[in-house]
Amino acid sequence: MKYCLSVLCLAVCLAFALPLDASVEDSAEARLDALIERYLDDYWQRHPDRATRAGLSDWNDRLPDLRAEALAAEAEALRVFLMELAGIDPERLGSIDHRVDHDLMARHLRIRLAEIETLPRWRREPRLYLPFHAFNDLILDEFAPLEQRIDWLQARLDQLPTLLQAGQANLDRAPRRFVEDAIRSTESQLPFFRETVPAFAARVPERTESVQAAAAAAADAVEDYLVFLRADLLPRADGEVAVGREVYDFYLQVLHGLELDADGLIELGQRYYDEIEARLAAQAERIAPGRHWADVTEDIRDDHPTREDLLDAYCRDIQRSRAHVVERDLATVPPNEEVRCIHSDPSQRAFSPFGTFRTPAPFSESKIGYLILHPVPEGLSAEEETRRLRAHDFSWIEVIAPHEAYPGHHLQAILAQENPRPLRRVYSTPVFTEGWGLYTEELMHETGFFRTPEETRLTQLRLQLWRAARVLLDARLHTGQISVEEARDFLAEHIRMEYGATAGEVNIYVYRPSYAIGYVVGFYEMMALREQARAARGEDFELKAFHDEVLSLGSMPFPLVRELMALPPEP
């Protein structure tokens, strides 16, 4: 306790030690820049797997330390950073960029502290202790020489047993669903350590024996962890899936910068849902008068790729969307970038309905993005294979491809790499990132990208309705108003999602509270921002310049975006 008090006193003394002379503004900005640099260095050291994903190599030989004592030390360090930041008065910062960074740092600190103390993921989430991406990233991404990546891989393999032991010691608030998911995930990841890693190590013969030994020890530790999950944790797993109203409101207001609580969000989400459903019904009436939109959608879904051609169908529309952005001059596409299409690892297929998109790392020179798609398995009955392929009809693909690639998340990520302010490459709210993705779907409709405009517009609006449903389901789930099963039933009945796909969809809500609201909430924010910029700039407004400016700022709450763009607050 004496140590904690002395650290806090020192922080306060340092914060107010500089003289208030004519250079105070420059001094305050320099102090903030130095504080951010120290803070980010501390962040990467404590979360080395995130550093790898960010494209930073200094910590690639480490796994996070999730022992209880290490997390307590991290929480104390965060409080000290908050005290130091409080000693820098944002009103004394001369530039808007520094004032925004001050705001972002405070938000980032508060979110991290909450996830240690208020919503302790380390006590709730068994999957946290088996960070598959920390190993797979070193295999998948060719961001360093092969020999170097194998060195890092072996170091992380050696540390995995300790991390898994920390999980066994820490986990005491896990919801049963989390444990069941972790059991399935852990079972599916065992072949990665038993087979994939040894095969990768064989590419450097002189390292094969030592890496394979480390992989075998890691796999044994994973099997021990699996026994713990089944025999020990599962029988006592009685934690709540819902994070509760207080925590949920905290995410809305701090992470996303929304002036809403859960009740206000649900009200807004219902308005969005009703508006989109009305547009969807009107579009169906134009195509097939008298028929419900869901029935018209079923006809459209009959036009889909084969199982063998599915991944290539996405790749073709990704390249077509790139050409469209360039030809219509919608945004700047930097040189030396590309998108690659691959199938997902089996261990990751339970946690999203269709797959994911991996954007280029914010601090990396690489501009390669990955569409990671769940394949339709071989050996299914003809009926089951057709059912799954109908979820990837051609109209769906030409809506999703630009959302993920051009001018969507891929372009968003590579332009963000050029941001000179490092904190802007770290902070991210899905209200901005996913709002941009959904905005690009509308933009492609507006600029004539769709091959079959009437049918694909119907699909696009159906996907908007799905995203609006996410607002309602996510908020109601985490405030205890509905169950996981009720959320799945809603998606199947009202959005016409295949029931099997609803499990992965609802997992997005379960594991990432308030993430899923970002699509529709951010879409409406982005559309309003565009109209504000158009009104403010009059004849000087250009769509490409607007897009480039928005993407250059970084992913942050929209009130801060408006400040940086010198636009008034949204009415």
pLDDT given for residue 352 in this prediction: 61
- Same domain (yes/no): 486, 503: yes
3-state secondary structure of 186: helix
Count of beta carbons in the 10 Å neighbourhood of residue 485: 10
pLDDT given for residue 344 in this prediction: 84
Residue-wise pLDDT for 7-27, tens only, equals 334 343 444 333 434 444 569
pLDDT given for residue 349 in this prediction: 66
Could you tell me if residue 294 is inside a domain?
yes
Residue-wise pLDDT for 53-69, tens only, equals 999 989 999 999 999 99
The tally of domains found in the chain comes to 3
Owner of token pair 């089996």: 346
Q: How far apart are CA 542 and CA 422, in angstroms?
A: 28
Owner of token pair 């599915």: 310
- Same domain (yes/no): 511, 544: yes
Whole-prediction pTM value? 0.91
Instruction: Tell whether the model's pLDDT for residue 260 goes beyond 60.
Output: yes
The DSSP secondary structure of 43-101, one letter per residue, reads HHHH-HHHHHHHT--TTTT------HHHHHHHHHHHHHHHHHHHTS-GGG--SHHHHHH
- Same domain (yes/no): 264, 138: no
Could you tell me if residue 439 is inside a domain?
yes
Residue-wise pLDDT for 380-429, tens only, equals 999 999 998 998 999 999 999 999 999 999 999 999 999 999 999 999 99
Of the listed ranges 216-220, 270-274, 503-507, 511-515, the least confidently predicted one is: 503-507
- Same domain (yes/no): 316, 432: yes
Among 86, 119, 152, the domain boundary falls at 119
- Same domain (yes/no): 369, 424: yes
CB neighbour class for 183 (10 Å; exposed up to 12, middle 13-18, buried from 19): middle
pLDDT given for residue 10 in this prediction: 38
Of the listed ranges 356-365, 511-520, 538-547, the least confidently predicted one is: 356-365
pLDDT given for residue 225 in this prediction: 98
Average pLDDT of the segment spanning 497-511: 90
Mean pLDDT of the chain: 92
The DSSP secondary structure of 488-543, one letter per residue, reads HHHHHHHS---HHHHHHHHHHHHHSTTTTTHHHHHHHHHHHHHHHHHHHHGGG--H
Q: How far apart are CA 155 and CA 218, in angstroms?
A: 11
Could you tell me if residue 167 is inside a domain?
yes
Could you tell me if residue 568 is inside a domain?
no
Convert 115-175 into a string of H (helix), E (strand) and C (coil): HHHCCCHHHHCHHHHCCHHHHHHHHHCCCCCHHHHHHHHHHHHHHHHHHHHHHHHHCCCCC
By the 8 A CB rule, do 148 and 205 touch?
no
Could you tell me if residue 249 is inside a domain?
no
- Same domain (yes/no): 329, 288: yes
- Same domain (yes/no): 290, 368: yes
* CATH code: domain of residue 71: 1.20.58
Could you tell me if residue 563 is inside a domain?
no
Among 202, 236, 270, the domain boundary falls at 236
Average pLDDT of the segment spanning 139-156: 91
pLDDT given for residue 26 in this prediction: 62
pLDDT given for residue 347 in this prediction: 60
- Same domain (yes/no): 442, 356: yes
- Same domain (yes/no): 207, 260: no
Residue-wise pLDDT for 118-127, tens only, equals 999 999 999 9
Percentage of the residues of the chain whose pLDDT score is greater than 70: 94
Among 236, 270, 298, the domain boundary falls at 236
pLDDT given for residue 9 in this prediction: 43
- Same domain (yes/no): 174, 75: no
Per-residue pLDDT band for 498 (boundaries 50, 70, 90) equals: confident
Could you tell me if residue 193 is inside a domain?
yes
By the 8 A CB rule, do 514 and 248 touch?
yes
Residue-wise pLDDT for 66-110, tens only, equals 999 999 999 999 999 999 999 999 999 989 999 999 999 999 999
Could you tell me if residue 209 is inside a domain?
yes
By the 8 A CB rule, do 206 and 270 touch?
no
- Domain of residue 301, residue span: 254-558
Residue-wise pLDDT for 309-340, tens only, equals 999 999 999 999 999 999 999 999 999 999 99
Instruction: Tell whether the model's pLDDT for residue 295 goes beyond 90.
Output: yes
Instruction: Tell whether the model's pLDDT for residue 4 goes beyond 70.
Output: no
- Same domain (yes/no): 542, 438: yes
pLDDT given for residue 353 in this prediction: 61
- Same domain (yes/no): 7, 103: yes
Instruction: Tell whether the model's pLDDT for residue 198 goes beyond 70.
Output: yes
